[in-house]
Amino acid sequence: MQVYRSKTTKPVTTFVEDLARMAQTAGFLIHNEDKMAMAHTFGRHGVDVAAGFDLHMVQICNPKKAAQSLSKNPERAILIPKFIMVFSQQGETQIRLLTYSQETVGQLIDDAAFPASLAESFTQIIDIIESAR
């Protein structure tokens, strides 16, 4: 596992809007737009958060590729969800994405084609993030 780390000077909401736009041009979509702002999600459950808490857990998906992949092997589902964490820290918007190496994927899922396919998805998502920054 590896954590991709980046940052931008854009405010969180502006970056997330730009991320969604760039994702769409690459065949991806933001799957959880109505639930990604964690302050609102926690608030709907009656949980208070600190002032200024602005963590967005953005689930990004390529529905066409995911449907094809899961049709081939539903066991892949455990590693399919991809979340980009976006939050403010020390005056900057921080961006994080948890990725898995092909070796790790191969150890977790007995499926010869999946490690390379998942690595390709991570590369595409990182390219989307970089374009949105």
Q: What is the CATH number of the domain that holds 60?
A: 3.30.310.70
By residue range, what is the domain housing residue 71? 2-132
pLDDT computed for residue 31 by the predictor: 87
pLDDT computed for residue 35 by the predictor: 84
Query: What is the number of domains present in the chain?
Result: 1
Buried b / exposed e along 96-119 (16+ C-beta atoms within 10 A): ebebbeeeebbeebebeebbebbe
Q: What is the pLDDT along the chain (133 residues), one digit of tens a residue?
A: 899 999 999 999 999 999 999 999 999 999 888 888 999 889 889 999 988 899 999 999 999 999 999 999 999 999 999 999 999 998 999 999 999 999 999 999 999 999 999 999 999 999 999 999 9
pLDDT computed for residue 67 by the predictor: 96
